[in-house]
Chains A and B, each alone.
Chain A
């Protein structure tokens, strides 16, 4: 290979990545339009666009702009932050099996939110909810990385994640157990399943600032993930402050996941799946995977949220249930594929 070719092939790879990104943006926009059109009243994408920009009948405008737009915005934002958090954690830990839900972050966030509700400290529309969720998500990821230590193997991470999510689940169950109001318990139980139904702009305002802040924080660290490809020690020798990076990523994931859980409950496995779908198309560079994983996460959640509205069933299926039903088999497939690394107990 000649020297000129070295950079030419790099350009070709870059152009292919731009193509994938453009396709993802188109896909997300289409899904968002479908999401705005699906429901008891079905609207065509053209009608949806008209209604969004103030044309069409008043009823159509109210349906699209006030009833369905918050749901679609949350679907996009939550899917995106889950995909981004998954890609960021996989980059930080150099491990394709890392994801917020495997580490117990959403489960812990849910515990924080449930605790606040059960103690009567806040209703489901107060900022105490996301703050408590974020605090617990932060604590769970922090404890996990503390236990894992510097060069954690896969086995330790998965086991610690399992323990933390079990603990969060048990703590949530205890809160519900001790709660005196059976209706509140039922409501919490359904809310825990994860859903985007009946969300208003108040919910958007509750979650979006935290999600956006988390996303900015995670994206700001993207180049450090690339340096981490060579291991923590080498990354440090290249000028990456590993301690600060870890803390920053924990804060970013906690803000994003905590904010998301506070309004939508636990929606699992999008963070695990999204980066995997992108690796064959974008390559393995952990920095370049962040934005495509976010877009893929958004597309996945919008798709799942469309699916729960279309699938015929006696009572509505919660979107968090659907993502887990699809996500867990995918996780099993990944375990099978990574069997060799798992068997050795090291990443």
Chain B
């Protein structure tokens, strides 16, 4: 990995309801990278994402930008981590613009009707980047799954945080929208953001990520460039599958093939 680490964890342990979910996870991630976090169901991927953002109690040390997470207030954490949970829940039918504007909440812009010019610009930039300007006045609950996921992504971009943590942003999307979302996240990484994506889609992980982290039973068992991290051994041991492996336009291609 190149560049100075921006987000590090040392000896991260998480226990939820008496069950140890994460065991001694240590990692070190640099800005400008797209990191895919993969692993079987129940491996602790979502918990790792939450622990990094400080949304679940954990033991061990997390540092972001050289500052200990534990020393940051909720607001300071919110400006450093933009978190996209699974499912893109929206409880009230608010217009798309107001949802995206919630991305400015950590910056003190708690009312979408009273944004500073700087907040307005951030909101508009995020809406352009995800191509959701046309949904500005549409109620998000009336949008299709793909459209709603783009609005959710715009909300995350509007935070303009140095770290984006996205939990299965492509699940339940058709292939075109999956690529769409991954490309947007890839662009954010290319512009200097550290993007961490939980996914079950090893193909997307191999295609778009700089680094793949493999989590199995709460432990980080493999990390590195996609083709190395998702080696035949790891695919066998962790996922218990074999995969078709190839290269297309100098990108790694991994297609899960058969159970073993």
Q: Given the known A-B contacts A7-B120, A223-B111, A283-B94, are A237 and B78 also in contact in the complex, defined by CB atoms under 8 Å?
A: yes
Contacts of B102 in A (CB 8 A): 226-227, 229-230, 238
Number of B residues near A (Cβ < 8 Å) is 38
Q: Are B74 and A239 in contact (CB under 8 A)?
A: yes
Contacts of A52 in B (CB 8 A): none
- Complex formed: what's the CA distance from A14 to B101 in Å? 15
- Please, what's the 1-or-0 string for B127-169, where 1 marks a CB less than 8 Å from any CB in chain A? 1100001101100000000000000000100000000000000
Q: Are A231 and B74 in contact (CB under 8 A)?
A: no
- Complex formed: what's the CA distance from A227 to B53 in Å? 17
Closest Cβ–Cβ distance, residue A117 to chain B (whole Å): 41
Of the candidates B53, B110, B134, B155, the one having the most CB atoms from chain A within 10 angstroms of its own CB is: B110
Contacts of A347 in B (CB 8 A): 91
Taking the complex as formed, is A123 at the interface, i.e. its CB lies under 8 A from any CB of chain B? no
Taking the complex as formed, is A234 at the interface, i.e. its CB lies under 8 A from any CB of chain B? yes
- Please, what's the 1-or-0 string for B92-111, where 1 marks a CB less than 8 Å from any CB in chain A? 11110111001001100011
Q: Given the known A-B contacts A230-B89, A231-B89, are A237 and B53 also in contact in the complex, defined by CB atoms under 8 Å?
A: yes
Q: Are A284 and B74 in contact (CB under 8 A)?
A: no
Q: Are A230 and B74 in contact (CB under 8 A)?
A: no
Q: Are B111 and A9 in contact (CB under 8 A)?
A: no
Closest Cβ–Cβ distance, residue B106 to chain A (whole Å): 5
Taking the complex as formed, is B60 at the interface, i.e. its CB lies under 8 A from any CB of chain A? no
**Which residue of chain B has the shortest Cβ distance to A17 in the bound complex?**
B113
Selected from B75, B92, B97, B120, the residue in CB contact (under 8 A) with A239 is: B75
Q: Are B94 and A284 in contact (CB under 8 A)?
A: yes
Of the candidates B50, B82, B105, the one having the most CB atoms from chain A within 10 angstroms of its own CB is: B105
Contacts of A283 in B (CB 8 A): 94-95
Category for how many chain A residues contact B:
20 to 34
Q: Are B133 and A234 in contact (CB under 8 A)?
A: no
Taking the complex as formed, is B67 at the interface, i.e. its CB lies under 8 A from any CB of chain A? no
Contacts of B134 in A (CB 8 A): 1
Taking the complex as formed, is A10 at the interface, i.e. its CB lies under 8 A from any CB of chain B? yes
Q: Are B55 and A237 in contact (CB under 8 A)?
A: yes
Q: Are A238 and B94 in contact (CB under 8 A)?
A: no
Closest Cβ–Cβ distance, residue A12 to chain B (whole Å): 9
- Complex formed: what's the CA distance from A347 to B89 in Å? 11
Taking the complex as formed, is A6 at the interface, i.e. its CB lies under 8 A from any CB of chain B? yes
Query: Which of A207-234 touch B at CB < 8 Å?
Result: 223, 226-231, 233-234
Closest Cβ–Cβ distance, residue B91 to chain A (whole Å): 4
- Complex formed: what's the CA distance from A241 to B74 in Å? 7
Query: Which of A258-300 touch B at CB < 8 Å?
Result: 283-287
Q: Are B133 and A6 in contact (CB under 8 A)?
A: yes
Q: Are A239 and B90 in contact (CB under 8 A)?
A: no
Taking the complex as formed, is A236 at the interface, i.e. its CB lies under 8 A from any CB of chain B? yes
Closest Cβ–Cβ distance, residue B147 to chain A (whole Å): 14
- Please, what's the 1-or-0 string for A1-27, where 1 marks a CB less than 8 Å from any CB in chain B? 111011101100110000000000000
- Complex formed: what's the CA distance from A238 to B85 in Å? 12
Q: Are B90 and A229 in contact (CB under 8 A)?
A: yes
Contacts of B124 in A (CB 8 A): 3, 6
**Which residue of chain B has the shortest Cβ distance to A12 in the bound complex?**
B137
- Complex formed: what's the CA distance from A229 to B230 in Å? 38
Taking the complex as formed, is A240 at the interface, i.e. its CB lies under 8 A from any CB of chain B? yes
Q: Are A286 and B137 in contact (CB under 8 A)?
A: no
Contacts of B89 in A (CB 8 A): 230-231, 234
Contacts of B137 in A (CB 8 A): 1, 9
- Complex formed: what's the CA distance from A227 to B102 in Å? 7
Query: Which of A300-327 touch B at CB < 8 Å?
Result: none
Contacts of A199 in B (CB 8 A): none
B interface with A by C-beta (< 8 Å): 50, 53, 55, 74-75, 77-79, 81-83, 85, 89-95, 97-99, 102, 105-106, 110-113, 120, 124, 127-128, 133-134, 136-137, 155
Q: List 13 A-B contacts (CB under 8 A).
A: A1-B134, A3-B133, A9-B136, A223-B105, A223-B111, A229-B90, A229-B92, A229-B99, A230-B90, A231-B85, A236-B55, A240-B74, A285-B98
